[in-house]
Amino acid sequence: MITKSIKKISFSLIKPKIILVEGEGRKTAKEAIFQGLKNHLKIKKVSELPFFFKKDEVLILENDKDFEFLMEKSSLPILVITHVGDIPSNQDFFAGEEKEIKRAKKLAKILPVFSYLVLNFDDETVREIKEKSRAHAILFGFDGTADLKVSDVKLNKGTNFKLHYNGSVLPVWLENTFGKEQIYAALVACAIGKILKLNLVNVSQSLKNYHSLPGKMKLIEGIKNSWILDDSESATTFSMIEALEILGKITSPSKFGREAAPRKIAVLGDVVGIGKYTTQAHEAIGEQVVKNTDILFIFGQRAKFIAKGAFEKGMALEKIFQFNRIEEGKLKLQDEIREGDLILVDGSKEMEMEKIVEEIKGPIV
């Protein structure tokens, strides 16, 4: 208790700026903020308050413990809310469930008038929080009326897009990184940069060094000079469909320094937690497999419906490999991989698809 009191006294005297990130995309957003801003100011991620603080320091909070106290004593509190629902792959707007955003709404309501609120405009539930808070609001997204807007997204060995803000347009490049969640994370970093009076050109340049967290749509080297699109950390129906669409859109591996045209291999596990729509959802994923891949490996009981959906939509049976457990199919997958292949690995956290990534990733150099 004495230790905690000392930390609070120290915080109250120095009054560092604080950033709290809430929502489904909080992990990637925190990493993008840190990587995008660390070369331009004093910033660090903290899971608990340290004993001492530096002048003009910015703290990215790992949790909202004591946030109300910190918010009152900070010279500039910033609350970021990414998204609270799944991100549909084929549209820009989506709505989260009310139960998932109650905490974020509560925090937004108690923000002081001099603070900032950074909101995902594309999530209708998050967007409406602006009306519940006295804080200055900055909204980001794909919609034209957002304060920071994305356009002209292109995929090759990463994601390239244009960022629009206050009449200015600048390019942003995310190397070896894909997906809307990653684009949103970059937008959050740019929004924080503007709040902290940084030059957006400098922030966008720093984002070239941002690399996605493991298992979050990250492109890595695979065995036999292949490439792995690692999305193994977690999955929903929407995120897996988006990952498959991205797999299909990535340009030829000549961009990766390979000469041969790539084969696209989808290695998919169960999507857990869908409930009564499990069969239909997995079959819908199978339809996307046919549109975007050449070969399908599936792992798990639910994923068999992905194979069923793919077969019914025209994928040849000899291109589909089905296994209940990773141990049963990992050697067959290794044997199937050829030079230049692009391999998506995706599935719910419970399926431990990261074990497959470990089996087929290339040597560390």
Please report, for the chain, the start and end positions of each structural domain, with discontinuous segments joined by +. Answer: 2-209, 218-360
Q: Tell which CATH classification among 3.40.1190.10, 3.30.1130.10, 3.40.1440.60, 3.60.10.10 matches the domain 2-209.
A: 3.40.1190.10
The pTM score is: 0.91
DSSP-derived 3-state class of residue 219: strand
Which residue's entry shows tokens 């409930």?
275
List helix spans (H) across 99-236. 102-109, 124-127, 180-195, 200-206
Beta pairing, strands 158-165 & 168-175: antiparallel
The CA-CA-CA angle for residues 268, 297, 222, to 5°, reads 85
- CA 304/CA 270 separation, integer angstroms: 8
Q: What is the pLDDT along the chain (365 residues), one digit of tens a residue?
A: 668 788 888 888 889 999 999 998 999 999 999 999 999 999 999 888 777 778 788 999 987 778 888 888 999 999 999 988 765 555 444 544 555 678 888 889 999 999 999 999 999 889 999 998 999 999 999 987 899 999 999 998 899 999 999 999 999 999 999 999 999 999 999 999 999 999 999 999 999 989 889 999 999 999 999 999 999 999 999 999 999 999 999 875 454 555 456 899 999 999 998 888 899 999 999 999 999 999 999 999 999 999 999 999 999 999 999 999 999 999 999 999 999 999 999 999 999 999 999 999 987 64
Count the Cβ atoms, other than its own, within 10 Å of residue 5: 9
Place of tokens 């084929």: 90
Question: Quick one: how many helices (H) and strands (E) in the chain?
Answer: 12, 15
Q: 218-360 has which CATH code? A: 3.90.190.20
CA distance 17 to 116: 11
C-alpha to C-alpha distance for 306 and 236, rounded to whole angstroms: 13
Interatomic CA distance for residues 92 and 238, integer angstroms = 12
